[in-house]
Amino acid sequence: MEHSRLKNYPGQPMNDPTLSLTNEQHRTFTRDGVVKLPNAISAEWIEPLLDMADRELANPGQWVSDSSPGALTDRLFTTRYLWPHEDVVRRFAAESGIARLVAQLLGSSSARLYFDHTLVKEPHTAAPTPWHQDIPYWPFLGRQIASAWVALTPATVAESSLELIRGSHTWNVYYAPESFDSSSNAWTDDFDGEPVPDIDAARDDYDIVGFDVDPGDAIVFSSWILHGAPGNAGPNRRVAVSTRWLGDDARWSPHPGSDPSVDPDVVSVQPGEYPADDAHFPVVWSSG
């Protein structure tokens, strides 16, 4: 099966350790639920991934959200689950070293890829990414689940970069997702959970942190942390690639309204089990 090629993709060494984590970065991630890793990936990945984003904008795939198709401004575009058929995304997940960094921050002995997510905000995009928590959107439960959001273009908090509420991954609250748009791929009906509070109406009540980023910087964050982003007030396109990772305590937990991109009928694990399905959630890094 094509999916199984990811772990041993031929031709280049995998997970060449280009970045060593510091004790302070470990402590920050555990305490805050998020940490910025400057220069997390080699510069050689930036142009191929930007080229991939251009191709997707011109010819969107199946799992797309697009606020203004074809527009050069005021367009929020995302596409996901490209790794099974997009060579550069597959190689990036397998060879960039991101899987190792995420697993080590999580204290996990391995990292399985859940999915990739390319996010583009054209200049002067009004639509924000609403405040949300990732875990309720996904068919998994567990604390060792995280994302690595890698900047492919410069971004500032004032214009378009991520914001997160420090420590909210420890609140033990499961927030009900809300639709980000009205597209056919907005799968957000029939959810359980508490409503996300109106954070922007009371920003001083929360410990909000944001990060200015340069290409190659990564923001690694827990799937339980509340986060969002403004639109794009700047004159340039903002592009990022986020990979989503499953650690040792992840359990397969499909539920009404969760992400339909991986069909529960074809997964070889049962609800409540560790997702040891290499075809759909391949191991990319392991300490063993």
Instruction: Give 100-133 pLDDT, tens digit per residue.
Output: 999 999 999 999 999 999 999 999 998 888 899 9
The pLDDT of residue 20 is: 86
Tokens of 141: 């439960």
Kindly give, in sequence order, each residue whose CB lies less than 8 Å from that of residue 207, ignoring residues fewer than 6 positions away: 165, 166, 167
Task: Please tell me the predicted confidence (pLDDT) of residue 4.
Answer: 35
CB 37 within 8 A of CB 25: yes
Tokens of 231: 């639109």
**Segment (H or E) for 120:** strand 110-121
- CA–CA gap between residue 74 and residue 51 (Å, rounded): 20
Specify the pLDDT at position 172: 94
Q: What is the pLDDT of residue 10?
A: 32
Tokens at residue 35, please? 């940490």
pTM of the model: 0.91
User: What pLDDT does 41 receive?
Assistant: 95
Q: What is the pLDDT of residues 181-202, one digit of tens each?
A: 544 444 555 677 899 999 999 9
Residues 6 or more apart whose CB falls under 8 angstroms from that of 199 comprise: 131, 165, 206, 208, 226, 228
CATH classification number, 2-282, choose in 3.40.50.300, 2.60.120.620, 3.40.430.10, 1.20.1070.10? 2.60.120.620
**Residues of the chain where predicted confidence (pLDDT) is lower than 50:** 1-17, 182-186
